[in-house]
Structure formats: structure tokens, C-alpha cells
Amino acid sequence: MNDYVKNEIKNNRRAIKEDWRELKDIKTDRQLNMERPVMFKQAKVGSKIIKLEKEFPNIKQKTLTECIKNRKSLRSYKDQNLTLEEVSYLLWETSRVDSYKPGVTFRSIPTAGATNSMETYVFLNKIEGLNKGLYLYIQDKHQLSLIDDTLGIEERVNEALYGQLRGASIIFFFTATPYRTEYKYAHLSHKMIAIEAGHAGQNLSLAAEVINCGAVMLAAYIQEFSDKLLGIGDEEFVTYVGAIGKR
């Protein structure tokens, strides 16, 4: 291994090996009473909105043991549409906000100090009654807000995923807005931000099992293309991706 790689590894390991006592010696932006970051994104004014379902009468529940036992990364799928109810279910179990008050957000997944670093975007590829399109999930309203459904969107998504779309019915992009966590935990935030995405990925993988789908989680996407696709960049960026389709 060359010295450059050795140094990079050393630096990167530090991010998952922090000393919490250091927090006593600094003043965080929160302690300095700086302006609080926005807790979650809202739809762009005038964007097309899809209201999602909050009840799932056609989804037959399975036991947690069954879902964990059956979960295996799935990379080829039936050429079959998901229903809007199934899309709603995946987002509900993975990305919903249950309640919030200034500075704290409670979600279906745990989030460090309730700081909620995450946003969720979905690419609807094969969904009953809907055209292909890229959407932002509005966490507190359980709605989708259209970002892009222009010609070639499937190809652009596949390119961003480094060719790993593989005919999936739906793609989840989890992003991090690090400052939401840095505001409270400064330089200790980054391990927790990554873990939070992992929690979402696991809920997604298990929820996929319930609807007779399989998932594969992806880290080998192209950062630059994925961020560009979603119209984000330095202050918000993709951290984890999930591809889901019928078994």
C-alpha cells in the first residue's frame, strides 16, 4: 500500500473513532445560539405532488423473523410494477417523521440526538399508473414532490448508480445534510450520520421483504452524478442508495 493510501486510511478511520470527551472542550454552534438549521426539506413551490397512503390494506404482514431470515441482496428482478400502496409502505417504514418540535425530529429510524441528518429521494421506475420520475420525499407530510421526469431520466439514474439500476422498480437515495448534526455535535457528527443512513437501509431491506421484493444496498454509486441528479452538492449529498424490485 502506498503512503498516500495509508494516510487517507488513517484520516478516514478517525471519523469512526471519535472521543466524546472532546465535546466538553468546544462550543458547538448550538451552544453559541447560532441559527438552527432547517429540520427537513419542503416541496418546491408549484411542484407536482403525489399524496401517499398511510394505511396498507392489501399488504399482508410477515413476522420480523421471517423478513430477517429471507433478506438477501437481490440484483435481478421481475419486470413488474409496484403499486402506489407498496411505494407508500416502503417510504412509511423507512423515512417517515412521526413527530417533531424545534430542534428535535422523531422518525421511524433512530437519529443521533434526534438531529435527523437525512432526506430521502426516490426514482420511481416501474410503478402502476405513474411515469418514470425522480421525487423528493416530504418527510413530515408523507408526500412526494417531483424533481425530474424529463426524457432520459432512467439513463441518468443508471449512470449515477454506476450502471447498477438493473431494472429495479424503485431506487431510494438517502442523503445527509451534515450541518443538522454538526450544529449539535460538531466534528463528532460524521460517524453518526453514516450510521443513520444504515438504519434507513436496514428498515428498507426488511420492508421490501414484506411486499415480496428484494433489495440491494449500494455504496458504489458515482457521487458527483448522483448529487447533480438530485440538485444537491456540498451541504447535502448522497450517502446510501437502495434498489428494490419484485422477486
Ligand X SMILES: Cc1cc2nc3c(=O)[nH]c(=O)nc-3n(C[C@H](O)[C@H](O)[C@H](O)COP(=O)(O)O)c2cc1C
Maximum CA pair distance of the chain?
A: 58
244 contacts ligand X (rule: CB under 6 A) = no
Q: Where are the alpha helices (DSSP H) in 56-135?
A: 64-70, 84-95
> Scanning residues 52 to 81, which ones bind ligand X (CB under 6 A)?
72-73, 75
| Only segment of 7-15, 40-48, 81-89, 214-222 that touches ligand X (CB under 6 A) | 214-222
Question: Rounded to whole angstroms, what are the CA distances from 171 to 86, 157, 215?
Answer: 13, 9, 9
Q: Between residues 39 and 197, which has the closer beta carbon with respect to ligand X?
A: 197
Question: Rounded to whole angstroms, what are the CA distances from 61 to 17, 67, 202?
Answer: 39, 10, 17
In the complex, minimum distance from the CB of residue 216 to ligand X, in angstroms, rounded to a whole number: 5
Q: Between residues 45 and 220, which has the closer beta carbon with respect to ligand X?
A: 220
Cross-strand pairs, 245: 214
Q: Between residues 84 and 157, which has the closer beta carbon with respect to ligand X?
A: 157
Closest CA relative to residue 155, chosen from 121, 129, 122, 123: 123
User: C-alpha cell of 123?
Assistant: 426514482
| Only segment of 124-132, 175-183, 217-225, 228-236 that touches ligand X (CB under 6 A) | 217-225
In whole angstroms, give the CA distance from residue 40 to residue 211: 28
End-to-end Cα separation, the chain, in angstroms: 41
Q: Between residues 84 and 170, which has the closer beta carbon with respect to ligand X?
A: 170
What SS3 state is found at 198?
helix
In the complex, minimum distance from the CB of residue 240 to ligand X, in angstroms, rounded to a whole number: 7
- Binding string to ligand X for residues 20 to 59, with x set by CB under 6 A, is what? ----------------------------------------
Contact 188, 18 (CB under 8 A): yes
- Among the listed residues 84, 97, 134, 217, the single contact to ligand X using CB under 6 A: 217
- Binding string to ligand X for residues 156 to 195, with x set by CB under 6 A, is what? --------x-------------------------------
In the complex, minimum distance from the CB of residue 180 to ligand X, in angstroms, rounded to a whole number: 21
In the complex, minimum distance from the CB of residue 202 to ligand X, in angstroms, rounded to a whole number: 9
In whole angstroms, give the CA distance from residue 222 to residue 156: 11
- Among the listed residues 52, 216, 229, 244, the single contact to ligand X using CB under 6 A: 216
Closest CA relative to residue 177, chosen from 243, 109, 98, 120: 120
* Residues engaged in binding ligand X (CB under 6 A): 72-73, 75, 164, 216-220
